[in-house]
Amino acid sequence: DAGVTQSPTHLIKTRGQQVTLRCSPKSGHDTVSWYQQALGQGPQFIFQYYEEEERQRGNFPDRFSGHQFPNYSSELNVNALLLGDSALYLCASSLSGDRVYGYTFGSGTRLTVV
Amino acid sequence: DQQVKQNSPSLSVQEGRISILNCDYTNSMFDYFLWYKKYPAEGPTFLISISSIKDKNEDGRFTVFLNKSAKHLSLHIVPSQPGDSAVYFCAASAWTSYDKVIFGPGTSLSVIP
């Protein structure tokens, strides 16, 4: 079963650096959403990509940017890392317009900023 | 501004009994609601959903109830099993931005054998 694949699984970066996280969606899905989950909190919506464009965006600064490729895979980029960016970053894929079954999530990338 | 609230951070239930997880929302534009379950070191997995045109939806041991006037929904698990021990997230989306799903902070359920 080709679910959602995220890489890397863990990452340690220094404050001020830049990071790129990658996501391959579930087969048949065309929409990718990115979430940030801090310890003890629920996932917070960062943005969503559909047809290679950002369709929705949450309350995150421009340091957070993304991209979707023609094969529907996606990247999340974070520039000028802050200590507060340390979190679990979740990628979720879905089929646009399908509200019944919700998202399929990957296992996440654990980012630690030191 | 937390649009989806889960006021109980944790819940403990005996095996075989009913687990009731509660969720409140503030955005009246929300018209689709979902529950996700998350085990440690894994991403959330979809459990059950309900449209605002319904007040109840069942799937096996899981039932979700929606009270639109109170902006409240609940997830019932009957009977509870030790494998149900996980963090449960309530989530919602609005018809105006239906692919944007907003999550609550989660409730950690422990089912005691």
- How high is the pLDDT of residue B41? 85
How much helix, strand and coil, in percent to the nearest 5, is found in chain B?
Answer: 5, 60, 35
Q: Mean pLDDT across the stretch B5-33? A: 96
Quick check: helix, strand or coil at residue B82?
Answer: helix
Q: Mean pLDDT across the stretch A69-91? A: 97
The CATH number of whichever domain residue B105 belongs to comes to 2.60.40.10
User: What is the spatial distance between Cα A77 and Cα A93, in angstroms, rounded to a whole number?
Assistant: 17
- How high is the pLDDT of residue B95? 79
CATH for A5-113 (2.60.40.10, 3.60.20.10, 1.10.150.120, 2.60.260.20): 2.60.40.10
Flag if B41 and A50 touch (Cβ within 8 Å): no
Q: Which residue of A has its CA nearest to B104?
A: A42
Domain span including residue B90: 4-112
| CB contact burial A49-66 (16+ within 10 A = b; e otherwise) | bbeeeebbebebeeebbb
- How high is the pLDDT of residue B63? 98
- How high is the pLDDT of residue B100? 85
- pLDDT, tens only, B27-66: 999 999 999 999 998 999 999 999 999 999 999 999 999 9
Tell me what the pLDDT averaged over chain B comes to. Answer: 94
- How high is the pLDDT of residue A69? 97
Instruction: Parse chain A into domains and list their residue ranges.
Output: 5-113
% of chain A exceeding 70 in pLDDT: 98
In chain B, the number of structural domains is: 1
CB-side neighbour CA atoms (13 Å) of A40: 3
Flag if B101 and A102 touch (Cβ within 8 Å): yes
Tell me what the pLDDT averaged over chain A comes to. Answer: 94
Q: Which residues have C-beta within 8 Å of that of residue B81, sequence separation ≥ 6?
A: B15, B61, B111
Q: Which residue of A has its CA nearest to B40?
A: A107
Contact (CB, 8 A) for B33 and B91: yes
Q: Which residues have C-beta within 8 Å of that of residue A1, sequence separation ≥ 6?
A: none
| A12 exposure class (CB count in 10 Å sphere: 0-12, 13-18, 19+) | exposed
Least Cα separation, residue B108 to chain A (angstroms): 10
User: What is the spatial distance between Cα A52 and Cα A32, in angstroms, rounded to a whole number?
Assistant: 10
- How high is the pLDDT of residue B21? 98
